[in-house]
Amino acid sequence: MYYKIIISKYILHGDTMTPHISAKKDDIAKVVIMPGDPLRAKWIAENFLKDIVQVNSVRGMLAYTGTYNGKKITVMGHGMGIPSIGIYSFELFKFYDVDLIIRVGSAGTYVREINLGDVLIVENAYSDSTYAEIIGVDVKNKMIPANNEMVNLAFETSKQNGIDAKKINCHSADVFYSEFTCEEWIKRSNSEVVEMEAFGLFANAIILNKKALCLLTCSDSLVTHESMPSEERQIGFSKMVKLSLKIGINFYEK
């Protein structure tokens, strides 16, 4: 299979493990928090971690490793779209022996019941992408489930920390601009919100027998066309980031 040939090609790559990540193996923690924007990864590291060290800058995809509550955590950007998170999450799982990746991102809502600033835990990700099929993941109705253990851990951790988090299905879109209505997307995807990456992350976790989770903050309503102001995004995203870090600590302590 072409996919497996590509994997074997990069097993040895000098001092660095892959063409896209310059970190050495021990530079990367077993738990990795991944926002899309590399500058957001920098912001997370500088505001939430201690003793941080930058461990990657290849193609501007910044990664930092530090500690949170005494546990080693890496924060790294994953870029936009399934192909981008597909590359970075695959390499972290396969070549850096990462056990858990938590994507933290923004989402647009298709439904009125989800409000700006809501923290969301993805239970299932829908996509029209062929990514999962190509790598050999069995997909039913174009929907991939999140790891149930991690969803439960996330929900319990949110309750422990007084964070009101909703479990939802997300649409991992291949297009950012579309003329489809919310009703058309809901019918097509059976999802309440849209983002662009969870489907690829979940597919990699399944094929490599790893753990993955996606947390989202609702930043835009495609129903009312409201959007969170920049200062509110910072506060809202902080809540999600704190939750992701608490989940990471609970995962270590299991």
> Which pLDDT tens digits describe the chain residue by residue (254 residues)?
334 434 444 444 455 678 899 999 999 999 999 999 999 999 999 999 999 999 999 999 999 999 999 999 999 999 999 999 999 999 999 999 999 999 999 999 999 999 999 999 999 999 999 999 999 999 999 999 999 999 999 999 999 999 999 999 999 999 999 999 999 999 999 999 999 999 999 999 999 999 999 999 999 999 999 998 877 776 679 999 999 999 999 999 87
Residues 6+ apart with CB under 8 A from 90: 204, 208
Q: Containing H/E element for 167? A: strand 165-172
Asked if 248 and 71 count as a contact pair (C-beta separation under 8 A), the reply is: yes
Alpha helices in the chain (DSSP H): 2-9, 38-48, 82-95, 131-135, 148-160, 182-189, 198-208, 230-253
Q: Is 89 exposed, middle or buried (0-12, 13-18, 19+ CB in 10 A)?
A: buried
From 37, 99, 174, 220, the catalytic residue: 220
Look at the block and give the residue holding tokens 């077993």.
30
Supply the DSSP symbol for 10.
Answer: T
CB atoms under 10 Å from CB of 20, counted, come to 18
> Measured between alpha carbons, how far is 164 from 240 in angstroms, rounded to an integer?
10
Closest CA to 145 of 84, 83, 206, 209: 206
Pick the CATH number of 2-253 from 3.90.1170.50, 3.40.50.1580, 3.40.640.10, 3.10.520.10: 3.40.50.1580
Question: Is beta strand 100-109 parallel, antiparallel or unpaired with respect to 211-221?
Answer: parallel
118 is catalytic: no
> Measured between alpha carbons, how far is 247 from 40 in angstroms, rounded to an integer?
19
> Measured between alpha carbons, how far is 190 from 28 in angstroms, rounded to an integer?
36
User: Which amino acid is residue 110, in one-letter code?
Assistant: Y
> Measured between alpha carbons, how far is 173 from 180 in angstroms, rounded to an integer?
12
Question: Is beta strand 119-126 parallel, antiparallel or unpaired with respect to 143-145?
Answer: antiparallel
CB atoms under 10 Å from CB of 178, counted, come to 12
pLDDT of 16 reads 60
Asked if 102 and 215 count as a contact pair (C-beta separation under 8 A), the reply is: yes
Give, in degrees to the nearest 5, the angle at Cα 14 between 12 and 16.
Answer: 90
pLDDT of 235 reads 67
Report the predicted TM-score, pTM, of the whole model to 2 decimal places: 0.92
pLDDT of 254 reads 75
